[in-house]
Amino acid sequence: MSVETCDLSAPAFKRDPYPFYARLRAQEPIKPLIQGDGRLVWLVTRYADVAAALKDDRLAKDRFNVLTLEEQKRHLPWMPGFVRPLAKNMLDQDPPNHTRLRALVQKAFTAAYVEKLRGRIESYAHELIDGMLARGSADLLNDFALPIPLRIISDMMGVPAQDRRRFGAWSKKAVSISSGADALLVIPAFWRFLRFMRGLIRLRHREPGDDLLSDLVRAEEAGDRLSEDELLGMVFLLLIAGHETTVNLISTGMLELIRRPQDLERLRAEPALGRTAVEELLRFTSPVEFATERYTREPVTYLGVTIPAKERLHLVLGSANRDEAQFPDPDRLDLARDPNRHLAFGHGIHYCVGAPLARLEAQIAIRALLERCAELKLAVPDEQLKWRKGVLLRGLRALPARLRAAERRAVA
> Which amino acid is present at 33?
L
Q: Is 82 exposed, middle or buried (0-12, 13-18, 19+ CB in 10 A)?
A: middle
Number of domains in the chain: 1
Q: Is 207 exposed, middle or buried (0-12, 13-18, 19+ CB in 10 A)?
A: exposed
Closest by CA position to 242, among listed 396, 349, 117, 333: 117
pTM value is 0.90
- Judge whether 410 lies within some domain: no
- Note the pLDDT of residue 360: 96
- Judge whether 311 lies within some domain: yes
- Judge whether 355 lies within some domain: yes
Quote the CA–CA distance of 344 and 321 in Å, as a whole number.
7
- Judge whether 59 lies within some domain: yes
pLDDT, tens only, 316-343: 999 999 999 999 999 999 999 999 999 9
- Note the pLDDT of residue 79: 56
Domain span at residue 382?
4-405
- Note the pLDDT of residue 412: 45
- Judge whether 240 lies within some domain: yes
Quote the CA–CA distance of 22 and 171 in Å, as a whole number.
31
- Note the pLDDT of residue 91: 83
Q: What is the CATH number of the domain that holds 145?
A: 1.10.630.10
Quote the CA–CA distance of 281 and 86 in Å, as a whole number.
31
Q: Is 138 exposed, middle or buried (0-12, 13-18, 19+ CB in 10 A)?
A: buried
- Judge whether 412 lies within some domain: no
Answer yes or no: are the C-beta atoms of 322 and 357 closer than 8 Å.
Answer: no
- Judge whether 411 lies within some domain: no
- Judge whether 8 lies within some domain: yes
Positive or negative, the CA dihedral 348, 85, 249, 369 is positive
Low-confidence spans in the chain with pLDDT less than 70 = 68-69, 71-88, 168, 171-186, 220-225, 408-412
